[in-house]
Structure 1
Amino acid sequence: MSYAVSAALQAAVFQQLYTDPVVSGLVGTHVYDAIPAGSVPQLYIALGSETVRDASDKTGGGALHDLTVLVVSDAAGFTKAKEVAGAVSDALVDSDLTLTRGALVWLNFLKARAARVGTGDTRRITLTFRARVDDDN
């Protein structure tokens, strides 16, 4: 097993979301690897946590990555956030991402959680995707 493909997978996921026309039509350029300091937009996407486990076999090294993407909104209700979350899912599931190291075998939706944050003025949807990557380096 190798964690070495993680940075390449993260960069490819970010690029896919940042350049997807439907996603950018909904959030503009507000797709973040790291949430900026200070005030944030009313609606944005941020890459979240990741859990990785070995998926190597006799053909080579590999890993399963459970990665999260956050959709955050301060709009009343979940409608807009869910619209963005659907676009994120459409942009990532079964996408043909090119990695700078290793190869993406598949990328699937695993689960989502929609919740109010803090006093309830902010809505956050946490989408979890599972990716299988190979690394023969």
Structure 2
Amino acid sequence: MTYALSASLQTAVYETLAADARLSDLVGAAIYDRVPAGAIPITYVTLGDEDVRDRSDKDGGGAWHDFTVTVITEASGFKIAKEAAGAISDALLGNEMTLGRGRVVGLWFRSARARRIGSADQRRIDLRFRAQVEDQQSTNAE
């Protein structure tokens, strides 16, 4: 197993979302690994939890990365949140991601959960994706 590709995968996910015109129209540049202190936009996206399992084989290290991308909004109703969630799904599933190390073998949508949070004035949609990655670095010393 290797966890060495996790940061590279997160960077690729972030860059893919940040470059998507449709998502940008909905949330601007409000895509965060960590929500900043102070005033935040009405609608924003965060990169969230990740669970990783071994997917190595005889050819090298690899892993399944189940990761969450979350949309949070104070906009009335779920419409804006669902539009942003759809743009996230389209961006991730419709683009080939290049990693700084390794490669993405496949990327799949797993599930989504939409709910009211806090005082019910906020809406939250958690999107779960699965990426299969493999390390392309040689494990043999020469």
Q: TM-score, normalised by structure 2?
A: 0.94
Aligned partners of 1:94 and 1:108 also within 8 Å: no
Aligned residue pairs total 137
Output aligned runs, 1:12-23, within 5 Å: 12-23=12-23
In the other structure, the counterpart of 1:76 is 76
Residue 58 of structure 1 and its aligned partner are, at CA, apart by: 1.3
User: Over residues 32-59 of structure 1, what are the superposed CA-to-partner deviations in whole Å (9 max), with x where a residue is unaligned?
Assistant: 1111112211001110110000000112
The residue type paired with residue 134 of structure 2 is D
Residue 136 of structure 1 and its aligned partner are, at CA, apart by: 3.0
Structure 1 segments (4+ residues) deviating >2 Å? none
Residue 94 of structure 1 and its aligned partner are, at CA, apart by: 4.7
Aligned partners of 1:74 and 1:121 also within 8 Å: yes
1:45 aligns with 2:45: yes
Residue 103 of structure 1 and its aligned partner are, at CA, apart by: 0.5
In the other structure, the counterpart of 1:96 is 96
1:27 aligns with 2:27: yes
Gap runs ≥5 in structure 1: none
Gap runs ≥5 in structure 2: 138-142
Q: Residue 19 and residue 94 in structure 1: after superposition, are their counterparts in 2 closer, same or farther (change >3 A)?
A: closer
Aligned partners of 1:48 and 1:69 also within 8 Å: yes
Alpha-carbon RMSD across the aligned residues, in angstroms, is 0.9
| Residue identity (%) | 55
Query: 2: CA distance between counterparts of 1:6 and 1:67?
Result: 10
Bigger shift: residues 11-20 or 87-96: 87-96
Residue 61 of structure 1 and its aligned partner are, at CA, apart by: 0.8
The residue type paired with residue 67 of structure 2 is L
In the other structure, the counterpart of 2:117 is 117
Q: Which has the larger radius of gyration?
A: 2
In the other structure, the counterpart of 2:134 is 134
Aligned partners of 1:95 and 1:107 also within 8 Å: no
